Homo-oligomer: A and B are copies of this chain.
Amino acid sequence: MGDTKPAADEAASEQVRAKAGRVRIEDVAEAAGVSMKTVSRVLNNEPNVSPRTRGLVEAAVEKLRYRPLPSARVLAGRRSYLVAMLFDNPSNNYLMEIELGVLDACQAQHYNLMLAPLVYNADDIIDKVEALVVQAQLDGVILTPPITDDVALLRRLEELGIPYASISAKEQNRHVGVVVDEHGAVCSMMAHLASLGHRRIAHVRGHAAHGASAWRLAGYREGLRRAGLRYDARLVVDGEFSYESGYAATNALLDLDDRPTAIFAANDDMAAGAICAICERGLSVPGDISVCGFDDTPIAHQIYPALTTVRQPTREMGRLAATELLKEVRELGSGGIVDVPYALQLRRSTGPVSSVD
């Protein structure tokens, strides 16, 4: 390690600086023999840099292992490289999958994610979000159900001119985000039940305030229609997406004189509750009654019998929503709606209608 050659000196001093202080854009500029601004251009993919210069800068960045300091960029620039995910925890599992997907996209594009727990329908939600957007200088927000359906909030976000993307929003007009054809999914599920010979199919609804509940009910009715079955209001009972509500709703159905041979619950948790209620009466699934759910959460294959349900690619949905949002952030109007595919997961909880019935 001689200290005679200038090159060695330079390398050494750079080392020291990197260790002690921190490599700054100025150091990179010096190393590449260009100005700070040119380095900045390269970093931000701006036009008007010759390929040769770009290469020089990139090499210097690599060599010095330079990474821009986020706070400095934010302070100086217009963008904050920060998006927030607004949520009112619908379910730990669903939310975490979405979050992981969002994180995937954010990391890939060097954006940061901030989490904003909110309470759906609380009257201070707009103030809270506004404070967040202004204070944290958010570049955009991701809305998860059921926050997606707060019209007042949507309006305010539009007034503020801040890009947003929603996941499974009820109203899809003018939105950026991702949706899955829940209506179609439920229709397929109903077709599956009908093909097994079921004629009395019940539905346990989800929480009334959630958009998903309406879709799933609509799919149920359309499914009945297509199978040539009559809608019977007594076979539709309210739940609220929780295990307990599914349990209670199913007990009500089991008390009917003419009980159903199949139950479509609006999500897996309620379906699990349904199975429990059925088992407790000494009936068997699917021997006596078939049960199916929606979401394909882990519980779907961790209960006995394993649940027939509908799978949505949750993590992918998070990733795509974030991707569309970031497009929108870069250029208003460039984000779109992505329709992701669902898949029926046929498992043991559904079977042919029992012949004695």
Give A contacts to B, CB under 8 Å. Answer: 22, 67, 69-72, 74-75, 80, 89, 92-93, 95-97, 99-100, 103, 112-115, 117, 131, 134-137, 243, 269, 272-273, 275-276, 279-280, 298-299, 301-304
Contact = CB atoms under 8 A, between A and B. Distances in A.
Contact of A80 (B71, B272, B276): B71
Given A96-B92, A115-B113, A134 B304 contact: no
A105 to B, nearest CB: 13
Given A71-B74, A96-B99, A113-B114, 15 more contacts: A22-B134, A67-B131, A70-B135, A70-B137, A71-B75, A72-B75, A75-B75, A92-B97, A92-B298, A99-B115, A243-B302, A269-B302, A272-B302, A276-B304, A298-B299
A269 B93 CA distance: 14
15 contacts: A67-B131, A67-B134, A70-B136, A71-B71, A71-B72, A71-B80, A89-B96, A92-B92, A92-B93, A92-B96, A95-B96, A272-B302, A279-B304, A298-B299, A299-B299
Contacts of A97: 92
- Copy count, this protein chain: 2
A103 B89 CA distance: 13
Contacts of A114: 112-113
Contacts of A67: 131, 134-135
Contacts of A269: 298, 302
A99 B299 CA distance: 21
Nearest to A94: B92
Nearest to A280: B304
A1 B269 CA distance: 57
Nearest to A279: B304
A299 B243 CA distance: 10
A75 B275 CA distance: 57
Contact of A93 (B93, B243, B275, B280): B93
Contacts of A75: 69, 71-72, 75
Contacts of A273: 302
A69 B97 CA distance: 31
